[in-house]
């Protein structure tokens, strides 16, 4: 159904994202691409519908060389689900599901019928959901709609780019089960990207483990677990499979994006207002070179304001931080409890801010590990 022959993707700056990839995907197969970030799994997926173009080699979909097809028409023939924010926020759920049929020029009543049919299949009440906006629904519900949208025009191939990556464990679990049901029922060829090995083991007919643009092993979940082909595969499935929470493990997996950062000269009053708006209790202060200078907390900022302070550099906290190289979960947990859960900045050795660790993130991580 989908085949790669010596496919290579090289970016103009010389980095090779995918290097000499050969892979044959059979009709109706559920294939999961997995590997550490930067291994080329997403690039591989996007080359199939030409959101990325391969620089050499050949990709066939349904026996046809995709480079000979019009990319826009090709994409309409292939279902596509992305991680988050993939639904059109200004279109109702029904319109979102009907996007591709509409692009294909189906008659209106046929589209309408198809939308109802899909909502029914997913067990979503038509009157309750069809005319709603995606923004009014939970993340899990939105992803469910995203999957339905990809199935709307009944494509033979569906691409999924970490579709459940941002969901809480419980919704993820139920969406995975529904996807398995759909796959059993409709026999679509599904190509699925994830970085979560347990998700791969659960869903895949075959798992493709990638590393630095190359395939390390392609096999069924059982074979990969029993006979890992390389040392890398062994550690990859091993490390991910550990379900205990070790207080000694690195905080790396917990790092979240910084929500609010400011310069040293930011005005205390503006910062306080912004924090209130965003409903957060702290922010990170960076200098003009992007190096971390300290954190500010709402409580101490308020105090500084009362005492007549003007700039945030008068109320910096510089000691509460962790360095990525040495910080482990225990440090993070102790630090979080100590200051009522105010996020901790994570720095690298040259004082650059990598992100923050939050109470919520730690809780989620723990829940995840417990459920696995």
Query: What number of CA atoms fall less than 13 Å from residue 147's CA on the CB side?
Result: 27
- Distance in Å, CB of 42 to other proteins, minimum: 11
Determine, following the binding rule CB under 8 A, whether residue 51 of this chain makes contact with other proteins.
yes
Instruction: Return the number of the residue (45 or 347) whose C-beta is nearest other proteins.
Output: 45
Determine, following the binding rule CB under 8 A, whether residue 349 of this chain makes contact with other proteins.
no
Determine, following the binding rule CB under 8 A, whether residue 73 of this chain makes contact with other proteins.
yes
Determine, following the binding rule CB under 8 A, whether residue 138 of this chain makes contact with other proteins.
no
From 80-88, 245-253, 277-285, 347-355, give the range in contact with other proteins by CB under 8 A.
Answer: 80-88
Q: Residues touching other proteins: how many (CB under 8 A)?
A: 32
Strand-pairing partners, residue 211, are 214
Determine, following the binding rule CB under 8 A, whether residue 86 of this chain makes contact with other proteins.
yes
Q: Give the N- to C-terminal CA distance of the chain in Å, as an integer.
A: 33
Q: Which residue of 87, 115, 193, 335 would you call a contact of other proteins, by CB under 8 A? A: 87
Strand-pairing partners, residue 3, are 24, 60
Determine, following the binding rule CB under 8 A, whether residue 127 of this chain makes contact with other proteins.
yes
Determine, following the binding rule CB under 8 A, whether residue 316 of this chain makes contact with other proteins.
no
Q: Are 188 and 78 in contact (CB under 8 A)?
A: no
Instruction: Return the number of the residue (120 or 340) whose C-beta is nearest other proteins.
Output: 120
Strands 56-61, 64-65: pairing is: antiparallel
Determine, following the binding rule CB under 8 A, whether residue 133 of this chain makes contact with other proteins.
yes
DSSP string covering 70-106, please?
-HHHHHHTEEEE-SSS-S-TTS-HHHHHTHHHHHTT-
Tell which positions 229-288 bind other proteins, by CB under 8 A.
Answer: none
What's the longest Cα–Cα distance across the chain?
Answer: 73
Instruction: Return the number of the residue (155 or 343) whose C-beta is nearest other proteins.
Output: 155
What contacts 24+ positions apart, CB below 8 Å, involve 3-7? 3/59, 3/60, 4/44, 4/57, 4/58, 4/59, 5/57, 5/58, 5/59, 5/60, 6/56, 6/57, 6/58, 7/44, 7/47, 7/54, 7/56, 7/57, 7/58, 7/59
From 11-19, 124-132, 236-244, 278-286, give the range in contact with other proteins by CB under 8 A.
Answer: 124-132
From 68-76, 167-175, 200-208, 217-225, give the range in contact with other proteins by CB under 8 A.
Answer: 68-76
Determine, following the binding rule CB under 8 A, whether residue 76 of this chain makes contact with other proteins.
yes
Tell which positions 151-210 bind other proteins, by CB under 8 A.
Answer: 159
Determine, following the binding rule CB under 8 A, whether residue 333 of this chain makes contact with other proteins.
no
From 85-93, 208-216, 292-300, 310-318, give the range in contact with other proteins by CB under 8 A.
Answer: 85-93
Q: Are 284 and 355 in contact (CB under 8 A)?
A: no
Q: Which residue of 15, 26, 27, 88 would you call a contact of other proteins, by CB under 8 A? A: 88
Q: Rounded to 5 degrees, what angle do the CA atoms 4, 9, 15 make?
A: 150
Instruction: Return the number of the residue (75 or 144) whose C-beta is nearest other proteins.
Output: 75
Determine, following the binding rule CB under 8 A, whether residue 85 of this chain makes contact with other proteins.
yes
- Nearest-10 Cα torsion for 250, 251, 252, 255: 180
Closest by CA position to 196, among listed 26, 365, 8: 365
- Distance in Å, CB of 89 to other proteins, minimum: 6
Determine, following the binding rule CB under 8 A, whether residue 67 of this chain makes contact with other proteins.
no
Q: Please name the residues in contact with 126: beta carbons below 8 A apart, sequence gap of 6 or more.
A: 116, 119, 120
Instruction: Return the number of the residue (77 or 223) whose C-beta is nearest other proteins.
Output: 77
Q: Which residues bind other proteins (CB under 8 A)?
A: 49, 51, 72-77, 80, 82-92, 99-100, 103, 127, 130-133, 135-136, 149, 159
């Amino acid at each position: 159904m989908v085949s790669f022959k010596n496919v290579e993707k090289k970016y103009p700056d010389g980095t090779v994202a995918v290097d000499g990839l050969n892979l044959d995907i059979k009709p109706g197969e559920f294939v999961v691409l997995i590997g550490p970030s930067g291994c080329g799994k997403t690039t591989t997926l996007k080359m199939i519908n030409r959101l990325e173009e391969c620089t050499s080699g050949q990709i066939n979909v349904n026996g046809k060389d995709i480079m000979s097809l019009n990319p826009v028409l090709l994409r309409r023939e292939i279902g596509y689900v992305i991680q988050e924010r993939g639904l059109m926020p200004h279109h109702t759920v029904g319109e979102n599901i009907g996007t591709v049929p509409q692009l294909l020029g189906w008659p209106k009543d046929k589209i309408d019928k198809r939308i109802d049919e899909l909502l029914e299949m997913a067990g979503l009440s038509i009157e309750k959901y069809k005319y709603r906006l995606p923004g009014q629904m939970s993340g899990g519900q939105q992803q469910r709609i995203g999957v339905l949208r990809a199935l709307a025009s009944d494509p033979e191939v569906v691409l999924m780019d970490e579709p459940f990556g941002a969901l809480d464990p419980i919704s993820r679990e139920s969406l995975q089960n529904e996807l398995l049901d759909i796959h059993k029922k409709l026999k679509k060829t599904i190509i699925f990207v994830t970085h979560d090995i347990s998700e791969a083991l659960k869903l895949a007919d075959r798992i493709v483990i990638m590393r630095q643009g190359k395939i390390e092993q392609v096999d069924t979940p059982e074979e990969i677990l029993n006979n890992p082909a390389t040392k890398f595969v062994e550690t990859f499935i091993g490390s991910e499979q550990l379900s205990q929470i070790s207080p000694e493990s690195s905080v790396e997996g917990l790092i979240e994006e910084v929500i609010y950062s400011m310069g040293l000269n930011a005005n205390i009053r503006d910062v306080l207002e912004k924090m209130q708006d965003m409903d957060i209790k702290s922010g990170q202060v960076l200098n003009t070179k992007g190096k971390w200078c300290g954190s500010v907390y709402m409580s101490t900022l308020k105090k500084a304001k009362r005492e007549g302070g003007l700039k945030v550099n008068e109320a910096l906290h510089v000691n509460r931080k962790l360095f990525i190289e040495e910080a482990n979960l225990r440090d993070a947990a102790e630090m979080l409890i100590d200051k009522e859960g105010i996020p901790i900045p994570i720095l690298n050795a040259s004082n650059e801010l990598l992100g923050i660790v939050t109470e919520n993130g730690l809780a989620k991580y723990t829940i995840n590990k417990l459920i696995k």
